[in-house]
Chains A and B, each alone.
Chain A
Amino acid sequence: MFMAKTIINNLLHKYSTRLHPVEQRILPDGFRGRFKFVIDKCILCKQCAIKCPTQVIHIDPEVGLWERQVMGCLYCGVCEDVCPTGCITMTNVYRPPITEPAFLRFNVKPRPAKKAKSGAGADVQENGAVLEAIEEKVLERDAAGLSPSKMKTVEEQAVQKADAEKQAAPAKETPAKKSMSVTLKPKSAADAGKKGGSAKKK
């Protein structure tokens, strides 16, 4: 008799678990998930690299390199907080797993040296033209499905691209003229990088 109530309750109860592949969990808006980079907005101010607790972001303004060691990231969201241009944002999508040390690399337009900045008007105009082109680029990308709901972030696309490159032609090296690229370093190279990093700290 004691059991009857419990049994009836359990029979008429709705599921305690989610029917996973069919029913997806909706993540809250504030979730610190996968990164979305609108790298064209980046002004190479180095704020993210300075504030990063694990120091995995490396920026070289002269070459225009923005690099992140993906595995070392804590997803604390500090870079998002300090970014003055809103280049780094976090979406409410689960972050993808990776199995080996990967570097996320972007080639940004190098920041002109201060002397050049105060130069002729022609340069400024040129910059203006470039900026316009960049704006368009961003719009294009957004249209291509960069919104968080579409699950396709730059990071994922970049990883896929790298995989494709790796499969297609590992020997053929193309100069990195694209706006973004991820390189999965071979193990020895990654180790060498690590050693270099630790030596720097010391």
Chain B
Amino acid sequence: MTRSIIPFGPQHPVLPEPLHLKLALEDETVVEAVPALGYVHRGLEGLATRRDYSQMVYVVERVCGICSCIHAMCYCNCIEKLMSIEVPRRAQFLRVIWSELHRAHSHLLWLGLFADSFGFESLFMALWRVRERVMDINEATAGNRVIVSTNIIGGVRRDLSREQMNSILKDIAIMEKELKNLYDTMMNDYSVKKRTVGKGVLSKEQAHALGAAGPTLRGSGWAQDARQLAYEAFDELNFAPVVETDGDCYSRTKVRFREVFQSFDLVRQAIGKIPEGELAAKVKGNPEGEITFRVEQPRGELFYYVRCDGSNFPERVRIRTPTFANIPPLLAILPGAQLADVPVITLTIDPCISCTER
């Protein structure tokens, strides 16, 4: 049978990001997918070598538009480890609170877009209405809705008052109630199941061999989460990685939905255990040496490599984002899928191309 090539993206109604795939089709079935990246490259790694350490925190936040706080947290951790700065305990808890709020709103954003990708628009709106509450929390506590800019080297810039924490707890309780309803709706709906169950199956062995990360990996049955490394305050918080075993679109959706609840639970735990104390440690001098650090982003494991030579600027900053790891699994699960399922399957790895290209 003759093959035809269909371009998918970089501008596509369901894709929020400029991902371009060349799909080789036989009839309506995909036989091969070739990715093309490079539409939003901004040269942030190069810029990092021309900004000093404290300035760069605000620049790495712009690597990803959604999980900005987590990028800054990872970068700060690298520099703090190099300079052997002891971050105050309260600051570590505050970082956890903001990063978990980011994870929750990132997953809610994705769930909404995913619902939109198979045409369930009212669910999309319902999910984003819940997400709005998280954004409001960010706005009230950190001063901005997404790019919170709360991390600095040595700690955090803003504190949470008792009243703010109580209002966060109140909001979380409301959101959990609303999401519980939506969870039942989304996960038990006939048409949602029809579009997701058994589509784009990534087997356990494949997921490991291709180096998948984050919910894509956990949806295939691997209990691996970078938060288990107990960075920041995660050593005091109880949680277990959310794992589903089917490896299809449905189980990846389920992982993300359950992780929203997990994030809220972690915020609640962190607010319960947060100690009093300083917000930031004093920073003096310049770091020297090289270091790697990894944290768990909403999309998977985020990896930073920083090399410094004792001058004002880093010598090299390398950022490896989870979407970069998740593109090979995507290319493995696309062949065999119907053309109509391609948007749904592509979205289930939660592609963040701005992250990938930096």
Interface residues of A, Cβ cutoff 8 Å to B: 16, 27-28, 30-32, 51-54, 74-78, 81, 90, 201
Contacts and interface: CB of A to CB of B under 8 A. Distances in A.
Interface string B211-243: 000000000000000000000000000000000
9 contacts: A27-B139, A28-B140, A30-B143, A31-B140, A32-B144, A53-B56, A53-B58, A78-B58, A90-B143
A158 B244 CA distance: 58
B54 interface: yes
Given A31-B144, A74-B62, A76-B58, 11 more contacts: A16-B129, A30-B139, A32-B144, A52-B55, A53-B56, A53-B57, A53-B59, A54-B59, A74-B147, A76-B149, A81-B157
B50 A31 contact: no
B195 interface: no
A201 B50 contact: yes
Which secondary structure characterizes the binding site on chain A? loop
Contacts of B143: 30-32, 77, 90
A31 B58 contact: no
Nearest to B142: A30
A90 B149 CA distance: 14
Nearest to B58: A53
Interface string B48-74: 001100111111001000000000000
A15 to B, nearest CB: 12
B188 to A, nearest CB: 14
Contact of A53 (B51, B129, B140, B158): B51
Nearest to A27: B139
A135 to B, nearest CB: 30
A75 B143 CA distance: 10
Nearest to A75: B144
A51 B142 contact: no
Interface in B131-158: 139-144, 147, 149, 157-158
Contacts of A32: 143-144, 149
A16 B178 CA distance: 14
A85 to B, nearest CB: 19
A160 B141 CA distance: 32
Q: Which 6 A-B pairs have the closest CB atoms?
A: A28-B140, A32-B143, A53-B58, A53-B55, A76-B58, A76-B149
Contact of B54 (A27, A30, A51, A201): A51
B337 to A, nearest CB: 34
A151 B65 CA distance: 28
A78 B144 CA distance: 14
Contacts of B149: 32, 76-77
Contact of A30 (B50, B58, B140): B140
A51 B55 contact: yes
Find the residue from B54, B58, B62, B129 having the highest chain A CB count within 10 A.
B58
Given A16-B129, A77-B149, A30 B141 contact: yes
B19 to A, nearest CB: 26
Interface string B23-41: 0000000000000000000
B43 to A, nearest CB: 13
Contacts of A78: 58
A74 B149 CA distance: 10
B154 to A, nearest CB: 13
Contacts of B59: 53-54
Contacts of A76: 58, 147, 149
